């Protein structure tokens, strides 16, 4: 029977922090010529998921007020980080999914254009914000969210990603500190 202390005593003994070994590449998904980075094996492994979240949180303890996370896989990473960092969580969703007054942004991504929305009252002036998503690819989505947070007068402390596809040079579009745990 589990007693609630299954993971007490960090770091885990004998655990390798090569988090990339828990990810896989799916070719031609969701479209031809796209190499999709699948993080679901990492999420399914309790030790890898927990340790990756703890590692991603390390630089931000006591430095942020809220995490802005991007639909949909960013919700998985961002909510776990917000819980661990004891901070607020602000979801950014696809158009038409939020129930209150929203601010919308449109952006280019590696395989087309899209739009995202945030509640109009979600960010307060000078609120310290960390933007979290699963994978940094071309940087289009993340840049749109950085710009949106700044347009709402939030203070972008940085962006945190579980993984980064370095060949796509997405970090060059972002003018804030970037932390990524895995490089592809």
Cα–Cα distances in angstroms (integers) from residue 45 to residues 19, 24, 42, 182, in the given order: 11, 14, 5, 16
Q: Are 107 and 128 in contact (CB under 8 A)?
A: no
Q: Are 141 and 113 in contact (CB under 8 A)?
A: no
Four-point Cα dihedral 19, 22, 23, 26, nearest 10: 160
Pairing of strands 66-70, 128-136: parallel
Q: Which of 47, 50, 110, 150 is catalytic?
A: 110
Q: Which of 73, 104, 108, 164 is catalytic?
A: 73
Catalytic site includes residue 117: no
Q: Are 17 and 47 in contact (CB under 8 A)?
A: no
Catalytic site includes residue 106: no
Active site (catalytic) residues: 73, 110
């Amino acid at each position: 029977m589990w007693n609630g202390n299954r993971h007490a005593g960090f770091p885990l003994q004998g655990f390798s922090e090569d988090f990339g070994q828990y990810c896989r590449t799916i070719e031609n998904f969701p479209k031809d010529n796209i190499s999709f980075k699948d993080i679901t094996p990492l999420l399914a492994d309790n030790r890898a998921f927990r340790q990756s979240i703890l590692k991603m949180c390390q630089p931000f303890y006591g430095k942020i007020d809220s995490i802005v996370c991007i639909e949909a896989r960013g919700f998985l990473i961002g909510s776990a980080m917000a819980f661990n960092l004891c901070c607020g969580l602000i979801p950014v969703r696809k158009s038409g999914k939020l129930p209150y007054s929203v601010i919308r942004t449109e952006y280019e991504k590696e395989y087309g254009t899209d739009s995202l929305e945030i509640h109009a009252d979600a960010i307060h002036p000078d609120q310290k914000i960390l933007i979290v998503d699963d994978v940094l690819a071309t940087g289009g989505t993340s840049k749109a969210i950085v710009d949106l947070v700044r347009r709402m007068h939030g203070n972008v402390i940085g962006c945190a990603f579980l993984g980064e596809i370095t060949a796509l040079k997405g970090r060059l579009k972002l003018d804030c500190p970037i932390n990524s745990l895995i490089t592809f």
